[in-house]
Homo-oligomer: A and B are copies of this chain.
C-alpha cells in the first residue's frame, strides 16, 4: 500500500521505522530537504500548508495522514471528495486546528473543559484575570499560549482570534492516547503523567502508568469514550488532560496525531503508538496496549546557548544502562529548545523509574 504523510519530522520517522516490518511504500511531503524522514521514504519537497502541494501529493497515495496538524485542511476535504482516504478525516483535523472550534466541540459533547470566552479581537475580552490566552490557530509546543496574571499585563495580549480561558489549579498534567479504526473499534493506552520544564513549556518527562486514584481513572475513561464517540473519525489522538487540586479532570487540548507523550510506548508497552497508528492506516485490527512495566521518557532538547552541529554529551554513559533506550531523530543541527531525541526507560517500580530518569537527566546534554 502507498501511504502518504504530511510532514517529514520525527513523528513520521518513528512511524515509518516501526512500519518497516511490514511491506508498504511510504511518501512524505515536507519543505525541508533534510527532514528526518528524507532518507527512509520517497520525499516530495513542498509545503503541507499549501493547497496545491497537498492536493497533488494526496492524489499519489492510497491513504493520506499527518504527523503535524498545521496542514491545508481544505485540500484534505477536497481529496476526500475525490475518494482518497484521509486519516484522521478532514473534519476532525479542521476542528482541532482551531482552538475555538475545539472548545465548542468539548462543550457540545459534554467533555469537561475550562470555562472560556472566544474572542476575535482583544477589545472583546470580558473575562476576569488571571487567565490563559491561546491563539486559535498556529500554536505549537507551547507557542501561542500565555498567562495574563493581572490587568497590568493586558498589554501583552496578542490581538488575534483566541480562546481566553480560566486558569486551572493544576495538580498534575496527564495524557491519554486513544485510537479508533475505520470499523469503529477503539483502544486506549495507559494514562501517562507529565512533568513540564517551567522555562521552555516543553514536555520534559513522562511517567506511565500515572499515579492517580480510581476516580480520576474513571473520569479519564469517560472522557476517552466521549471523545472517541464524538470525533467520528478513525485516527490516533493524544488527549492532554489537567487534573486540578479538587480531583477533577479537564481536557486541555487534543492533538490529532502521534504525540510526544506516547514515546515511552516504544519499549514500555506491548505495542507502541507508532504500531497502533500504522494499524489504523491499514485498517488492521488494533494492537494491545498493555504496559510491560513502569516506563518513562526524557526529551533530549537542545541546551540553551548552543546552536550548530549537534553533539550528545554523556550518551556513552547512558548506553551502559540496562532497559534504557536512546532515540535520536536524525537532525544534524541543534538549537536551544529543539527536540533532538528522547530516552525511554523501563523499570519494575515507579520509584526506580523516577530515580533513573533524574539520573539520566543529569548525565546527558545536547550541545554543539
Contacts and interface: CB of A to CB of B under 8 A. Distances in A.
Q: How many copies does the complex hold?
A: 2
Contacts of A52: none
Interface stretch (A163-171, A194-202, A213-221, A320-328): A320-328
Contact of A328 (B17, B21, B284, B287): B21
B319 A284 contact: yes
B284 A316 contact: yes
A279 interface: yes
Nearest to A25: B39
A15 to B, nearest CB: 11
A287 to B, nearest CB: 8
Contact of A326 (B17, B21, B292, B331): B21
Contacts of A25: 39
Interface residues of A, number: 34
A22 B328 contact: yes
Contacts of A319: 279, 284-285, 287
A126 to B, nearest CB: 50
A270 B323 contact: yes
A363 interface: no
Nearest to A329: B23
B21 A327 contact: yes
B285 A320 contact: yes
A20 interface: yes
A319 B181 CA distance: 14
A326 B22 contact: yes
A1 interface: no
B330 A23 contact: yes
A232 interface: no
A20 B40 CA distance: 9
Interface in A224-253: none
A288 interface: yes
Interface in A273-329: 279, 284-285, 287-288, 290, 292, 310, 316, 319-320, 322-323, 325-329
Given A40-B40, A270-B322, A270-B323, A285 B316 contact: yes
A14 B285 CA distance: 24
